[in-house]
Structure 1
Amino acid sequence: MAKKENQGGSRNRIKAISTMFTIVDGLRELETAGVSELADHLDMPSSTVHIYLKTLEEEGFVLNDDGQYRSSLRFLELGGDIRQRMSIFRTVRPQVDELSAQTNEVANLGIEEDGKRVLLYTSEPSEGVFDNSPVGQYTHMHWTALGKALLAQLPDQRIHDIVDRHGLPEATDRTITDRETLFERIETIRDRGFSIEDEERRRGIKALAVPIQYDSNPSPPAAVSISGPKRRIGEESYDGLLDAIKNAVNVSELRYKHYQ
């Protein structure tokens, strides 16, 4: 991985903070690493990497096991606290759990943040097929059913801005990679009220998602989905699965309205 460049960034950018997060991201990619290994991975001087790692260790965000560094669960503490403060999470979580139990598939709650799909919560049944997507995962919006359901709730200009910033990279040979096709798909989602992911992020995995509609717009766009193996989420099962998702969303919308 090459060093991050300041692509048209602000003149007020603090280089030390940028370097710190580059090192944090690099350590996450490697899972565990010594100073030299991480420095080579990031194409940075070992002395610089060592200073930052020692500082992160002293602050409790990195652990050092005989010279092998790894991220600590302090990051989980921060993320968990942020999520717990979000009314959309507290309101929708019970319906996601119920949806997973009812369909025996993985059920998910996603929101948009900074032009990406964030997996805010996942409920996994005992017999579900998982694709190892961790809670908190950021992905490109156009890869997933959740992401496309989120995009469909945004103004067209905001979608153009997201594509300009993040592009339309390919995850599989079924991924949408051109703007015109993306907007055609978004119009279809707006018309029918749900989105489909057909092996566009990962081979063998399909998903269906339904947007959560607010009376007002106090929160980022949100959506609920189920995901599972393509053999179980086929067109013949769409009606039943969509009814279950829409019911979960309807209950969530009512709960959210009265929660505020």
Structure 2
Amino acid sequence: MIDDDTAPGGRQIDSVENAFNIIESIQELEQCGVTELADHLDIPKSTVHIHLQTLRNLGYVVKEDGKYRLGLRFLELGGRVRHNRSIFQVARSEVDDLSRSTGEVGTIGYEENGQRVLVYRTEPFEGVSDNAPTGEFTEMHWTAVGKALLSQRTDDEIRDVVERFGLPRATENTITDLDDLLDEIGEIRTQGYSIEDEERVKGVKSIAVPIRDDANQAGNSAISISGPKHRFDEDRIHSELLPSLRNAANVIELQYEHY
């Protein structure tokens, strides 16, 4: 279940919320001036200016040619957070090997607060995927990894996630009906893997399996292979990709027994 502390409507500090709204807006705009940012957020320029000066003094925002952008201090924080996740430490080398052997993009995904987080992503020379950045949060039902993660939750927990985030559409193939999602998750539990078929990005297909760890050291995590749809036909999925993916997951699960 999702923590009550993370649910909307809980007690909040407005100034902290404003600061993070400003940070996320700078990320969206890439670089911007005070007026542009104030208009984007519909808040007073004076409020924006104070927050920007504070963030700049702390090293989280950089000012160049009169415009502000996010600083690399965020990369340091994110890198430390990822480094401290056991799933990253244990699974990274196996996902690298998986990517090299298949020539496709390998990923490690993690569930946090009801969303899928991209913890790690390989970049093979010929690999093609949606070019999602490491650390990206997305809706769970959009991706193979997200659906593999949902398969480790109960139906009631899935309903809680959907109640909080809804089932927004990314492409015409995206699941937008709760009953349809629960039916597919049931199939994933039975077969042990999930498929993403152009459900987030047109032309991209992915297959994922959850990491099963009795001690829960890995949290709710999964690994996947992604690539152009034409390279992910049924024959290759079942003869090569799925066995390779399951073998990598098995090695990761065995390593957790001795982690």
TM range (shorter): over 0.9
In 1, distance between residues paired with 2:8 and 2:87?
A: 34
8 Å Cα contact 2:86/2:217 also seen in 1: no
Q: Deviations over 1:75-95 (max 9, x none)?
A: 111011011011111000000
CA drift of 1:218 comes to 3.8
In structure 1, what is the equivalent of residue 125 of structure 2? 126
Q: CA shift at 1:217, angstroms?
A: 2.4
CA contact (8 A) 1:143 1:175 kept: yes
Q: CA deviation at 1:219?
A: 4.1
TM-score, L = length of structure 1: 0.95
Matches within 5 A, 1:51-90: 51-90=50-89
Equivalent residue pairs, number:
252
Equivalent residue for 1:108? Answer: 107
Match of residue 258 from structure 2: 258
For the 8 Å contact 2:127–2:227, the answer to whether it is kept is yes
- Aligned residue for 1:247? 247
CA distance in 1, matches of 2:210, 2:228: 22
Q: CA deviation at 1:132?
A: 1.6
Runs of 4+ in 1 over 4 A off after TM superposition: none
Partners in 1 of 2:126 and 2:228 — Cα distance?
12
- SS of 2:109's partner is strand
- Provide the rounded CA distance (Å) in 2 between the counterparts of 1:227 and 1:51: 43
Q: Deviations over 1:140-168 (max 9, x none)?
A: 00000000000000122211110000000
What is aligned with 1:163? 162
**TM-aligned CA deviation for residue 216 of structure 1:** 2.6
Task: Give aligned-pair identity as a percent.
Answer: 53
Once residues 8 and 98 of structure 1 are traced to their aligned partners in structure 2, the CA distance between those partners, rounded to angstroms, is 41
Letter in 1 for 2:108: L
Question: What is the 5 A alignment of 1:208-223?
Answer: 208-223=207-222
Describe how 1:3-152 pairs up with structure 2 within 5 A: 8-10=8-10, 12-152=11-151
Give the Cα separation in 1 of the matches to 2:18 and 2:218: 31
Contact 1:113-1:220 at 8 Å conserved across structures: no
In structure 2, the CA distance between the partners of 1:179 and 1:35, relative to structure 1 (3 Å rule), is same
Q: Which amino acid aligns with 2:73?
A: R
Q: TM-score, normalised by structure 2?
A: 0.95
- Counterpart of 1:254, as a letter, is L
Secondary structure at the counterpart of residue 70 of structure 1: strand
CA distance in 1: counterparts of 2:72 and 2:129, whole angstroms: 23
Superposed CA deviations along residues 6-25 of structure 1, whole A, max 9, x for unmatched, are: x9522x31110000001001
Would the aligned equivalents of 2:108 and 2:223 in 1 still touch at CA under 8 Å? Answer: yes
